[in-house]
């Protein structure tokens, strides 16, 4: 006869298995509406703004937030919220500066704007930069979910990575962007509910409840949000979470990620019109702020729980939240929360697969329209499979890269500055031409590579530095290279 603890684990596993089967079936059902590239990559532009808003949040946070954010608060404080304030400023900048350009004509990717403004070479350069960046950053996220699955199933990290990628690849291959958006909505609902449930359960396990948490955490500085240190020194730029790094770094990082990265721009282009796209983007910040606050508070409560019980912190610290869930939450509740974490992972992986495929097909392969929509769709689905295999490989390699949250953000921050800089050259200048923009972008990549590997400057400054170097070098190059008129512009 099975003991009660084993029966409890079987209940949790049944919930997780039911979720995995259900979400895969739900996403695959959208295959029937996919007839053109517009259907497959933009969902036919039929999704409402609120669904796109939740999809943006789902792609922006994912498993890195769920696993990495509680670990940040467990070992530090609430300082990460300073970066979230920069996220709001970035959304305003994107709404005013970039969205109007994206809704002029029929666009499928962000890099078509670069072709329209500069030419085909810069389009390919920016598209390839996105592909490399997104694949590396997404590989970290793929590894992040393997931490959870290996804890639950004891299968080891590599089989766990393979399981989650294959299931997500299946419904993304079948349903395209429509499946991505609507599974995002469902998965977003699940993991916010799961986070709230876990917070309530963890708090219930602490004698004295919230009042005791405050009495322990406040003297330890766990509730500190703002750090107004302001001194232009190496220490100032090497400290990751300050108010100035948060506002500047968060703003530039999000302007780059949401304004030039196809993962996000694809969602904005999927809206019915520019107004709904802007509404979706701004509304997503409210959800982002609530979500980060929720997971940071969970980290603070876990700090108190471990302190009260004199428990050693797990290593690496990213295991703190999923390990607690599986070992301490009651049967049923643990299964729901784990399913919520899986939901976040699958939502983000599916979005990455679709955006990587869209950039590959639209910006690099560029299928001949004369061969018909069926041929283009076959290329799109083939590209989705190829990128699924690439993410699988990178996820295996990412096991050696340290903290999953900071590793993912740091990787993305290196080329994001060059991408943002060249987009700003495109929308803010008229003199700069394609060769100038290429020179500026290469200069920005060199500068930020030196900053990353040759200095102790924190990753929160990478995008600002890279964008400034790219923009400045592009403008300087335009003074020296021969000036060629734009199409239709007098010489």
- CB atoms under 10 Å from CB of 275, counted, come to 12
Residue 467's pLDDT band (cuts 50, 70, 90): very high
Kindly state whether residue 311 falls inside one of the protein's structural domains.
Answer: yes
Kindly state whether residue 101 falls inside one of the protein's structural domains.
Answer: yes
* This model's pTM is above 0.85: no
Q: Give me the pLDDT at residue 468, please.
A: 94
Kindly state whether residue 491 falls inside one of the protein's structural domains.
Answer: no
**Number of folded domains that form the chain:** 1
* Domain region containing 29: 4-408
Q: Give me the pLDDT at residue 490, please.
A: 37
Q: What is the pLDDT of residues 161-218, one digit of tens each?
A: 788 788 888 888 877 888 888 888 887 887 788 788 888 888 888 888 899 999 998 9
- CB atoms under 10 Å from CB of 464, counted, come to 21
Distance CA 155, CA 161 (A): 10
- Whole-angstrom CA distances from 307 to 199, 212, 295, 344 are 17, 12, 18, 29
Angle at Cα 123 formed by Cα 122 and Cα 129, nearest 5°? 85
| Cα torsion through 378, 382, 388, 390, rounded to 10 | -150
Distance CA 324, CA 404 (A): 18
Q: Give me the pLDDT at residue 391, please.
A: 87
Q: Give me the pLDDT at residue 488, please.
A: 41
Distance CA 109, CA 106 (A): 10
20, 167 Cβ separation under 8 angstroms: yes
Kindly state whether residue 156 falls inside one of the protein's structural domains.
Answer: yes
Q: What is the pLDDT of residues 104-152, one digit of tens each?
A: 877 888 899 999 889 899 999 999 988 988 887 777 777 777 766 776 6
Q: Which residue has the higher pLDDT, 195 or 478?
A: 478
Q: Give me the pLDDT at residue 483, please.
A: 61
Q: For 65, which DSSP code?
A: I
Distance CA 266, CA 359 (A): 10
Q: Give me the pLDDT at residue 89, please.
A: 92
Distance CA 266, CA 260 (A): 10
Distance CA 277, CA 356 (A): 21
Which has the closest alpha carbon to 44: 356, 272, 258, 374? Answer: 272
CATH number at residue 26: 1.20.1730.10
Which has the closest alpha carbon to 63: 173, 137, 119? Answer: 137
Distance CA 17, CA 335 (A): 9
Range with the poorest average pLDDT among 34-38, 90-94, 183-187: 34-38
User: Is the pLDDT at 486 greater than 70, yes or no?
Assistant: no
Kindly state whether residue 218 falls inside one of the protein's structural domains.
Answer: yes
Structure tokens at 194: 């799961």
Q: Give me the pLDDT at residue 9, please.
A: 67
- Pinpoint the alpha helices (H) of 154-273: 157-204, 209-217, 234-238, 243-259, 262-269
Distance CA 439, CA 139 (A): 29
Distance CA 444, CA 446 (A): 5
Interhelix angle 333-359/49-63, rounded to 10 degrees, is 100
Kindly state whether residue 466 falls inside one of the protein's structural domains.
Answer: no
Tokens 């639209």 sit on residue: 362
Which has the closest alpha carbon to 341: 148, 140, 154? Answer: 148
User: Is the pLDDT at 374 greater than 70, yes or no?
Assistant: yes
Distance CA 368, CA 389 (A): 26
Q: Give me the pLDDT at residue 16, please.
A: 80
Stretch 453-470: mean pLDDT, rounded? Answer: 86
Kindly state whether residue 267 falls inside one of the protein's structural domains.
Answer: yes
CA 486 to chain centre: 35
| Cα torsion through 392, 397, 354, 30, rounded to 10 | 30
CA 173 to chain centre: 20
User: Is the pLDDT at 448 greater than 70, yes or no?
Assistant: yes
* DSSP one-letter string for 69-131: HHHHHHHS-STTHHHHHHHHHHHHHHHHHTHHHHTSS--SSTHHHHHHHT-HHHHHHHHHHHH
Kindly state whether residue 439 falls inside one of the protein's structural domains.
Answer: no
């Amino acid at each position: 006869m099975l003991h009660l603890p084993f029966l409890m684990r079987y209940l949790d596993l049944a919930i997780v298995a039911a979720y995995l089967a259900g979400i895969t079936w739900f996403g695959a059902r959208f295959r029937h509406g996919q007839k053109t590239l517009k259907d497959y990559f933009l969902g036919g532009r039929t999704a409402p703004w609120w669904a796109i808003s939740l999809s943006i949040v789902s792609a922006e946070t994912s498993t890195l937030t769920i696993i990495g954010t509680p670990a940040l608060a467990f070992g530090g404080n609430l300082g990460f919220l300073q970066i979230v304030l920069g996220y709001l400023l970035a959304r305003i900048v994107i709404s005013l500066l970039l969205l109007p350009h994206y809704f002029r004509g029929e666009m499928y990717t962000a890099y078509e704007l670069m072709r329209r403004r500069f030419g085909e070479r810069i389009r390919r350069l920016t598209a390839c930069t996105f592909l490399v960046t997104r694949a590396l950053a997404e590989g970290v996220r793929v590894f992040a979910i393997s931490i959870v699955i290996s804890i639950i199933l004891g299968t080891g990290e590599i089989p766990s990575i393979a399981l989650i990628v294959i299931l997500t690849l299946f419904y993304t291959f079948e349903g395209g962007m429509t499946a991505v958006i609507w599974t995002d909505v469902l998965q977003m609902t699940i993991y916010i509910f799961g986070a709230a449930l876990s917070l309530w359960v963890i708090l219930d396990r602490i004698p004295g409840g919230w009042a005791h948490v405050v009495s322990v955490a406040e003297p330890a500085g766990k509730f500190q949000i703002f750090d107004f240190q302001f001194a232009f020194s190496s220490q100032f730029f090497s400290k990751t979470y300050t108010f100035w790094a948060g506002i500047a770094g968060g703003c530039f990082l999000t302007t780059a990620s949401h304004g030039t990265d196809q993962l996000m721009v694809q969602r904005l282009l999927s809206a019915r019109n520019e107004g709904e796209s802007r509404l979706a983007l701004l509304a997503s910040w409210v959800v982002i702020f609530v979500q980060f606050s929720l997971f940071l508070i969970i980290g603070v409560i876990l700090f108190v729980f471990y302190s009260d019980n004199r428990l050693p912190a797990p290593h690496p610290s990213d295991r703190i939240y999923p390990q607690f869930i599986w070992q301490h939450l009651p049967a049923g509740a643990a299964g729901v929360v784990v399913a919520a974490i899986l939901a976040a992972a699958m939502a983000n992986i599916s979005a990455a697969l679709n955006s990587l495929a869209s950039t590959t097909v639209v910006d690099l392969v560029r299928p001949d329209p004369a061969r018909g929509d069926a041929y283009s769709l076959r290329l799109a689905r083939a590209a989705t499979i190829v990128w699924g295999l690439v993410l699988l490989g990178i996820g295996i390699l990412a096991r050696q890269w340290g903290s999953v949250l900071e590793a993912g953000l740091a990787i993305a921050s290196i080329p994001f500055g060059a991408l943002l800089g060249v987009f700003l050259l495109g929308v803010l200048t008229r003199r700069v031409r394609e060769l100038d923009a290429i020179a500026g972008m290469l200069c920005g990549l060199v500068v930020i590579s030196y900053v990353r590997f040759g200095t102790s400057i924190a990753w929160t400054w990478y995008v600002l530095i890279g964008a400034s170097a790219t923009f400045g070098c592009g403008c300087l190059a335009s003074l020296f290279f021969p000036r060629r008129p734009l199409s239709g512009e007098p010489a």
